Amino acid sequence: MSAAWQSNVASKRSPFIRARVCKDTQAAPDWNIIRAVREAVKMPVIGNGDIQRPEDAERMVRETGCNAVMIGRAAATNPWIFQQIEQYVATGRYTEPSELDRYRLLAGYFRDLIAAELPDAIGKMKQFAKFVYARREKTAASCAGRSTTAQTPSEVLQRVEDFFEPLVASSDNREPFIQSPLS
């Protein structure tokens, strides 16, 4: 068992079970481990492993009996996932963020980084642009590609705004379906 498991059990907190071998982060998680731990203990268990969409979270709870689900990588590529899970649990459906929602998140985060005057802001901006668009390969390549050669944070923001300008200009300025998870 991992040190995190032993520490959590020893202090009688809820154990979280990462159902993937630490040496192989690309292997499929084994949710049977989560189920086995859940059946063996009388405390709440938090499952973790390959939750990419709300349906995955629901399936993990159903198949393992875990009491909660921990989100990892998906939070970087889809920061709306937490609100989507809430929607899915309540209605059986959830809304996907639009490209305008993605633009608002990206541009807002970039403006915050510029305002904070962080020395590594440009690296964070380029990395975040890739994460937010990881599932939208065509858009990601185009948007991220335009920003990778930028030399300053303001230039990255300008390139993102230029890329999305036709979308923003044609939008009806509707409210985002989900408020920015980074606000």
Average pLDDT taken over every residue of the chain: 78
Q: What residue ranges in 19-141 does DSSP mark as E strands? A: 46-48, 68-70
| pLDDT single digits (tens) 64-76 | 999 999 998 888 7
Instruction: Look up tokens 């005057």; give the residue.
Output: 117
**Higher per-residue pLDDT: 148 or 79:** 79
**Higher per-residue pLDDT: 151 or 59:** 59
Round to whole Å and give the CA distance between 42 and 75.
Answer: 29
Altogether, the residues listed in the chain come to a count of 183
**Higher per-residue pLDDT: 135 or 101:** 101
**Higher per-residue pLDDT: 84 or 27:** 84
Nearest to 162 by CA among 106, 114, 113: 106
- pLDDT for the residue numbered 60: 95
Round to whole Å and give the CA distance between 124 and 126.
Answer: 6
| CATH placement of domain 3-91 | 3.20.20.70
- pLDDT-derived band at 179, boundaries 50, 70, 90: low
In what side-by-side order are the strands of the sheet with 46-48?
A: 16-18, 46-48, 68-70
Asked whether the beta carbons of 138 and 163 are under 8 A apart, the reply is: no
User: What's the predicted TM-score (pTM) here?
Assistant: 0.70
Question: Domain spans of the chain?
Answer: 3-91, 99-170
| pLDDT single digits (tens) 131-176 | 666 555 455 556 656 677 888 889 888 888 888 788 777 766 655 5
The helix (H) or strand (E) run that includes residue 17 is strand 16-18
10 Å Cβ neighbour count for 60? 24
